Chain A
Amino acid sequence: MKRLASAAVALFGALLLVSLFLHLVPGDPIDVMLGEESTLVDREALRRAVGMDQPVHLQLWNFTRDFVTGELRTSVPPFQKKVMPSIGAALPLTLLLALAAMAVALVLALPLGVAAAARRGTAVDTAAMSAAVAGVALPRFWLGPVLIILFSLKLDWLPVSGAESWRHLVLPAFTLGTALSAFLARMTRAAMLEALREDYVTVARAKGLSPRAVLWRHAFRNALLPILTVLGLEFGALLGGAIVTEKVFAWPGMGTLLLSAIEKRDYNTVRATVLVFTCCYVLVNTLTDVAYALVDPRVRRRA
């Protein structure tokens, strides 16, 4: 219950915050849409059409009501399309991208982290951790174009942009997943080291189990839970990082929707996108908290 209340507060706060900023940002959807190519048009009629002649609190109330009932329309005349279908189309793509990035991160990070922990202090450890740190250091807006040049243009293996098949997913997922995988590899190593120090590992070793079995069956299994918890916590950051990645790869997800809505001053779409972003974030965080409570180390060890 308390969790629900705090989630509601976070959502409401986000809505207020984004509305406040939208209010502060100069320029309105009509100006921006007309832009420098603008022709002589009836500006006031357009403003009335999108409800911008109303006071701010009423605009907010209308937004909340329409958002909940799914009747929300964009703030961009002349055809104020419904917002929900756009979000319905964009959200799965962003979630797909985030999940794929996570998969990439796991595939890269787990072996690296485990290898580094198993051979702690050796060259393997140093190399793996250097690779991991290097991964954190690569800016996405730089890595993305470099990957496009390399794999799309020079090698012609993968498409440049868009979201038409699984092959379109590879480069964005890799770009988005690199930083996470670097972070995760370090986490994995730390969790493995901790697990390897535990009594049951010592016992397992004493029983004469092969080092490989000890490493994977005992230590890794126990290290996995904290790793997955961290993964949940990082999901929100991944959604944020998706904004830049989607821009680079023209991936039609929430980030693209949001950036173009900001650009167009499409107030309703900006508010709705941010709310959905925040919902995802809060939801994932809550789930992670719950999961964490469930797999609390003390509970786990007794089982």
Chain B
Amino acid sequence: MRLRLRSVGGRFGLAVAGLLVLVALLAPLLSPHAPEAMDLATELSPPRPGHPLGTGENGIDLLTHVLYGARVSLVVAAFAVALSALVGTVLGGLAGFMGGLVDEALMRLTDVLLAFPGMLLAIFITAVLGPSLTHVIFALSFTGWTGYARLARGQVLTLRERDYVQAARALGAGNARILFHHLLPNAAGPLVVQATSALPGAILAEASLSFLGLGAPPGTPSWGALVDQGTQYLLVAPHVALFPGLALALTVLGFHLLGDAVRDALDPKHLER
């Protein structure tokens, strides 16, 4: 699978994504302070030497937290998307392949979950389990897998009548072999597109939960939590909400563009040139 990201947007997206991964990996080297370092006396001070982006609540260094925040955003979003895709693909693939009661039950379940404000469900889950990044990943996956399930089911339904599948079946391949060796790999394109375009949504969702105080545990550098802090001090220290908010917006923007580019590259129907 060769990706060719020719558009400006695609390149920009790739650059942002790359930068983000780099920042996430190198956060300890790039940060001027330790993330847990505090200085109450300099609480909420505007940008100045030593604190290029200013300080936040309890005098934490904002730049440090924005840099470390990339880790949280990336890790949570990546895991949430991966888990959703895995669970959704397997369940959807099974539903499409087996048909009948399994299919019906699974589709009704996705109906229920889709008919439910996803954010609400995530709020519920994190409220029950308590704030931790693992719980956020779980909550986001719990609501996120349905899209993949429907997609995988649809793909399997169309693919299973294709000649090569029929041929494999005629050659005596078992159900599992047909599903995992023939059907799902061929359904991968749209699933990858779906996963890439789900990444920015997952990043935003993690930030929203942290904004509500239900995401990252206290003290964890997270953009959503920083914006949450900042909205309280918008009047006295607007920089606290501004910089993490910008970092968040830039990241979501980058991944969106990357997602578009991946879709254009993988999905010929969207090719415009």
Q: Which residues of A contact B (CB under 8 A)?
A: 6, 9-11, 13-14, 17-18, 21, 24-26, 120, 126, 129-130, 133-134, 136-139, 141-142, 145-146, 148-149, 153, 193, 236, 239-241, 243-244, 258, 262, 274, 277-278, 281-282, 285
**Contact segment of B45-53, B55-63, B122-130:** B122-130
Q: Knowing that A9-B112, A13-B111 are A-B contacts, what are 19 other residue pairs whose CB atoms are under 8 Å apart, sorted by A's residue number?
A: A6-B108, A9-B111, A10-B108, A10-B112, A24-B128, A129-B9, A133-B253, A136-B252, A137-B248, A139-B208, A139-B211, A142-B249, A145-B231, A241-B119, A243-B120, A244-B208, A244-B211, A274-B120, A285-B115
B238 and A25: CB pair below 8 A?
no
* The residue from A21, A120, A193 contacting B128, defined by CB atoms under 8 A apart: A21
Secondary structure dominating the interface of A: helix
In Å, the complex CA distance between A87 and B109 comes to 27
* The residue from A21, A193, A239 contacting B117, defined by CB atoms under 8 A apart: A239
Which A residues are in CB contact (< 8 Å) with B241? 142, 145-146
Closest to A278 in B: B115
A240 and B227: CB pair below 8 A?
no
In Å, the complex CA distance between A148 and B234 comes to 10
B234 and A149: CB pair below 8 A?
yes
A262 and B123: CB pair below 8 A?
yes
B115 and A14: CB pair below 8 A?
yes
Which B residues are in CB contact (< 8 Å) with A141? 208, 211, 227-228, 231
A149 and B238: CB pair below 8 A?
yes
Which A residues are in CB contact (< 8 Å) with B249? 134, 137-139, 142
* The residue from A120, A240, A244, A281 contacting B272, defined by CB atoms under 8 A apart: A120
Contact flags B114-148 to A (C-beta < 8 A → 1, else 0) = 01111111011101100000000000000000000
Which A residues are in CB contact (< 8 Å) with B8? 126
Closest to B211 in A: A141
In Å, the complex CA distance between A6 and B8 comes to 44
* The residue from B9, B115, B204 contacting A281, defined by CB atoms under 8 A apart: B115
Which B residues are in CB contact (< 8 Å) with A274? 116-117, 120
In Å, the complex CA distance between A145 and B123 comes to 21
In Å, the complex CA distance between A24 and B121 comes to 13
* The residue from A10, A21, A133, A240 contacting B111, defined by CB atoms under 8 A apart: A10
Q: Which of A14, A139, A236 has the most CB of B within 10 A?
A: A139
Q: Report the minimal beta-carbon distance from B78 to chain A, rounded to whole angstroms.
A: 18
Q: Report the minimal beta-carbon distance from B260 to chain A, rounded to whole angstroms.
A: 8
With A139-B249, A142-B227, A145-B231 as contacts: A133 and B9 at CB distance below 8 Å: yes
With A240-B118, A262-B123, A277-B117 as contacts: A137 and B108 at CB distance below 8 Å: no
Q: Which residues of B contact A (CB under 8 A)?
A: 8-9, 108-109, 111-112, 115-121, 123-125, 127-128, 200, 204, 207-208, 211, 224, 227-228, 231, 234-235, 238, 241, 245, 248-253, 256-257, 260, 272
Q: Which of B124, B208, B224, B252 has the most CB of A within 10 A?
A: B124
Which B residues are in CB contact (< 8 Å) with A137? 200, 248-253, 256
**4 nearest A-B pairs in the assembled complex, by CB-CB distance:** A13-B112, A240-B117, A137-B252, A137-B253
Closest to A22 in B: B124
14 A-B pairs, CB-CB below 8 angstroms?
A: A9-B112, A10-B115, A14-B112, A126-B9, A136-B252, A137-B200, A137-B249, A137-B251, A141-B227, A148-B234, A240-B118, A240-B120, A241-B119, A274-B117
With A137-B256, A139-B208, A141-B208 as contacts: A14 and B116 at CB distance below 8 Å: yes
Q: Report the minimal beta-carbon distance from B154 to chain A, rounded to whole angstroms.
A: 16
In Å, the complex CA distance between A143 and B83 comes to 30
Secondary structure dominating the interface of B: helix
Q: Report the minimal beta-carbon distance from B192 to chain A, rounded to whole angstroms.
A: 19
Closest to B111 in A: A10
Closest to B109 in A: A13
A278 and B9: CB pair below 8 A?
no
Which B residues are in CB contact (< 8 Å) with A136? 200, 252-253, 256
In Å, the complex CA distance between A214 and B8 comes to 29
Q: Report the minimal beta-carbon distance from A91 to chain B, rounded to whole angstroms.
A: 14
Closest to B125 in A: A21
Q: Which of A145, A146, A193, A282 has the most CB of B within 10 A?
A: A145
* The residue from A18, A148, A244, A285 contacting B119, defined by CB atoms under 8 A apart: A244
In Å, the complex CA distance between A141 and B224 comes to 9
With A21-B128, A130-B9, A262-B123 as contacts: A13 and B108 at CB distance below 8 Å: yes
Which A residues are in CB contact (< 8 Å) with B257? 133
Which A residues are in CB contact (< 8 Å) with B123? 262
B227 and A25: CB pair below 8 A?
no
Q: Report the minimal beta-carbon distance from A38 to chain B, rounded to whole angstroms.
A: 21
Q: Report the minimal beta-carbon distance from B259 to chain A, rounded to whole angstroms.
A: 10
Q: Which of B116, B249, B252 has the most CB of A within 10 A?
A: B116
